[in-house]
């Protein structure tokens, strides 16, 4: 712009032209409008970005190989006898999502029996699909060290990094590489531009070379505590997996095994799913022998996509997965089958493993035997299938205790308290409640936090909590819960809330538009008042949610920290009487998260309509009912926070590019925002100055012409 002006200035004849006098006005306008836009662009670039490039996922139906459920031992034996591959070239034993299942139960095999099973079956490979160490309190008590020792005893050949491998902190996740006597793999986890873990391993056994590639779900960014993966990048697993295939091809491997922790949840971004990986591999490398051994979604599933076999065992060592192969090329025979805890109920635990387990149990029991409540009269429901779908009495009492702490424990009294259902792991039975019981319920070691949020954020928060689809049976009929209400799909982010909250929602409405009323208790008037979008509220929760975990990106920001959440619960439980506990006797109260159909609005009375007056015709159109915005509290422009909703491309792209998810806490992103007010104000002032000069110049020209 300055160059243009200097050229004009040099030509005296042009100075008398009207262009000269309008120049300053145009220049001033550009100064006024372009500077704020550039500042906005600078602001936008400070937030973490998920690249939009995707790998095309082909349309492909898989052949379901999952064995039918059997109802008797005789039927189980028949399934074994009818297996197609009687003399396989390769056998593989695999597990996933063990979540610290050190000990055996009626429904869980336990790591001790896995050792015995491996000794008896003598497979060629023993592999694990991630999430091995975190889960039960006995494993959590030493950050998974005992579980790592037991996996070494079993003789695993490799495992993949799962999202919960980060639950005890980033440094602890790295330490597993030293604790384990076998590789822990992930090709798509980066920090500072470098891979954090070994991307693959090559194992040669019985004249066959196996290339084993690890891939970790990018959902880790929100499915572990954000501080545990701060600055860690989770790149597109499919794209990274394809790169590793090319590298292993040069090493002349016979069998490609993708040992992944991706899962096949419907809500997961298709770019991050294990079955999507299998489809892409089948399309791009149809001449290779490939397997995808998965975890994360806790699904018992075996499928074949062309030349690619997919298998996942479920979770918690309810099953041990087995794969049998015959042949070396892409036309190989493959079979996947599972051995359940019931089938292995008579299997003995390996003696050396038993000694390790008993020592761990003794130490754990010693520390956690302290009695918190002598005689609890109520069963508090914390089963996974309940706390992730609807209000339960265990979720209620925990939230209430956090709320009570928040009345005096923070600078400002708490208005409401919430916890994620996924953070509640087991029920509490009637009778004595010990320290160990509470740790079992809340095993993650979360601390309390309080953040200030607007009413608008609260509406978005509850919409996110209630976003899952209503379940339907095979006939397409809506599944009802014990209260005869439509049953929501399981969601670890489902919120359990304190008694100071009333949420009204309609599960049959579109996700994102379900909450039709939201009220919070006024502690002074003792009445529930409608949440106002521009009002600020004090929200107490765990540090996981406060930092935006479980996809709650609408939260975050500066927060006030409190003590350990389990310690708060134990301290306040000690003060409760049996009568107070009995108030929570109803397992599923439906008094806080209330599923109701919104009543139709009554028509506006005619006499209340603003009359049309000839003197003021501009006021003749007030036909909208009063305060319609209160009927739809959710701002439709509020962006969805879940990255899972990115659709897959329909056409095969020719280039594979990376999608990166950088995990950062919301606090960090707030602190990184630039101070822009001064820059905008300065530029705005300069623009006004130039505008004034331009207008003055035009005025002088007119005066001289007159």
Q: How far apart are CA 317 and CA 114, in angstroms?
A: 9
> What is the length of the chain?
706
Distances from the Cα of 563 to the Cα of 372, 406, 543, 639, angstroms: 18, 11, 10, 33
The model's confidence at residue 353, banded by pLDDT at 50, 70 and 90, is: very high
Instruction: Kindly tell me if the per-residue pLDDT of 701 is higher than 80.
Output: no
**pLDDT score for 581:** 98
Q: Measuring CA to CA, which residue among 576, 575, 591, 592 is closest to residue 377?
A: 576
**pLDDT score for 275:** 95
pLDDT digits (tens, 9 = 90+) for 287-299: 999 999 999 999 9
Most confident of the following: 224-228, 409-413, 611-615, 690-694: 409-413
Which of 130-139, 361-370, 573-582, 653-662 is the least confident region? 653-662
Q: Which helix (H) or strand (E) holds 173?
A: helix 170-179
The model's confidence at residue 643, banded by pLDDT at 50, 70 and 90, is: very low
Instruction: Kindly tell me if the per-residue pLDDT of 698 is higher than 60.
Output: no
pLDDT digits (tens, 9 = 90+) for 436-446: 999 999 988 78
Q: What three-state secondary structure class fits 469?
A: coil
Q: Which helix (H) or strand (E) holds 447?
A: strand 447-454
Contacts of the segment 350-354: beta carbons below 8 A, 24+ positions apart: 350/112, 350/113, 350/115, 350/116, 350/119, 350/153, 352/153, 353/111, 353/112, 353/115, 353/150, 353/153, 353/154, 354/112
Name the more confident of 125 and 629.
125
Q: Which two tokens stand for residue 180?
A: 């384990």
Instruction: Kindly tell me if the per-residue pLDDT of 7 is higher than 50.
Output: no
Q: Over pLDDT 70: what percentage of the chain? A: 74
Q: Do the Cβ atoms of 93 and 126 come closer than 8 Å?
A: yes
Fold of 63-359: Purple Acid Phosphatase; chain A, domain 2 (3.60.21)
Can you identify the CATH homologous superfamily of domain 371-595?
5'-Nucleotidase, C-terminal domain (3.90.780.10)
What's the pTM value of the predicted model, to 2 decimals? 0.63
The model's confidence at residue 301, banded by pLDDT at 50, 70 and 90, is: very high
């Amino acid at each position: 712009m300055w160059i243009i002006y200097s050229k004009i200035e040099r030509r005296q004849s042009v100075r008398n032209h009207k262009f000269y006098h309008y120049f300053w006005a145009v220049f001033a306008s550009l100064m006024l409008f372009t500077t704020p836009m550039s500042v906005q662009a600078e602001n936008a670039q400070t937030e973490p970005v998920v690249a939009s490039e995707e790998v095309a996922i082909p349309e492909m139906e898989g052949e379901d190989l999952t064995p039918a459920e059997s109802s008797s031992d005789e039927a189980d034996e028949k399934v074994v006898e009818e297996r197609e591959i009687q003399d396989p070239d390769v056998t593989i034993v695999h597990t996933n999502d063990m979540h610290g299942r050190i000990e055996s139960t009626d429904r869980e095999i336990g790591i001790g029996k896995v050792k015995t099973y491996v000794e008896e079956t003598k497979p060629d490979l023993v592999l694990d699909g991630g999430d091995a160490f975190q889960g039960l309190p006995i494993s959590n008590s030493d950050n998974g060290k005992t579980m790592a020792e037991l996996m070494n005893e079993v003789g695993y050949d490799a495992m993949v990094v799962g999202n919960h491998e980060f639950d005890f902190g980033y440094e602890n996740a790295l330490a597993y590489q030293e604790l384990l006597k076998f590789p822990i793999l992930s090709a798509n986890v980066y920090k500072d531009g470098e891979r954090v873990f070994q991307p693959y391993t090559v194992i040669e056994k019985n004249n066959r070379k196996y290339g084993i590639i690890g891939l970790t779900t990018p959902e880790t960014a929100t499915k572990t505590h954000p501080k545990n993966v701060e600055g860690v990048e989770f790149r597109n697993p499919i794209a990274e997996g394809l790169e590793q295939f090319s590298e292993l091809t040069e090493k002349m491997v016979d069998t490609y095994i993708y040992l992944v922790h991706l899962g096949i949840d419907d809500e997961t971004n298709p770019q991050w799913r294990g079955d999507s990986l299998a489809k892409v591999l089948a399309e791009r490398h149809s001449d290779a022998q490939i397997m995808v051994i998965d975890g994360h979604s806790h699904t018992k599933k075996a499928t074949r996509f062309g030349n690619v076999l997919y298998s996942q065992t479920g979770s918690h060592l309810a099953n041990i997965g087995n794969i049998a192969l015959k042949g070396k090329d892409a036309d190989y025979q493959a079979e996947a089958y599972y051995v359940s805890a019931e089938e292995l109920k008579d299997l003995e635990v390996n003696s050396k493993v038993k000694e390790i387990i008993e020592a761990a149990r003794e130490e754990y029991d010693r520390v956690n035997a302290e009695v918190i409540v002598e005689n609890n009269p109520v069963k508090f429901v914390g089963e996974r299938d309940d706390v992730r779908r609807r209000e339960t009495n265990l979720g209620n009492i925990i939230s209430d205790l956090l709320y009570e702490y928040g009345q005096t424990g923070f600078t400002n009294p708490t208005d409401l308290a919430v916890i994620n259902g996924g953070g509640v792991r087991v029920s509490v039975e009637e009778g004595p409640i010990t320290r160990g019981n509470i740790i079992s319920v809340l095993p993650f070691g979360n601390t309390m936090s309080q953040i200030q949020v607007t009413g608008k954020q609260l509406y978005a928060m509850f919409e996110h909590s209630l976003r899952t689809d209503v379940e339907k049976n095979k006939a397409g009929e809506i599944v009802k819960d014990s209260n005869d209400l439509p049953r929501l799909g399981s969601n670890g982010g489902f919120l359990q809330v304190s008694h100071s909250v009333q949420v009204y929602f309609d599960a049959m409405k579109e996700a994102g538009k379900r909450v039709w009323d939201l009220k919070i208790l006024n502690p002074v008037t003792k009445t529930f008042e409608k949440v106002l979008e521009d009002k600020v509220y004090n929200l107490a929760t765990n540090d996981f949610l406060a930092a935006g975990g479980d996809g709650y990106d609408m939260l975050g920001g500066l927060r006030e920290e409190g003590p350990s959440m389990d310690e708060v619960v134990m301290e306040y439980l000690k003060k409760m009487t049996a009568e107070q506990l009995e108030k929570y006797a109803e397992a599923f109260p439906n008094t806080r998260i209330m599923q109701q159909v919104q009543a139709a609005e009554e028509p506006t009375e005619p006499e209340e309509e603003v009359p049309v007056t000839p003197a003021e015709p501009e006021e003749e159109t007030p036909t909208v009912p009063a305060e319609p915005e209160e009927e739809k509290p959710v701002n439709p422009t509020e962006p969805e926070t879940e990255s899972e909703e990115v659709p897959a491309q329909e056409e095969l792209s020719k280039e594979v590019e990376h999608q990166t998810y950088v995990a950062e806490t919301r606090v960090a992103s707030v602190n990184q925002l630039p101070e822009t007010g001064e820059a905008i104000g300065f530029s705005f002032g300069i623009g006004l100055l130039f505008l004034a000069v331009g207008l003055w110049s035009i005025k002088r020209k007119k005066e001289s012409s007159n």
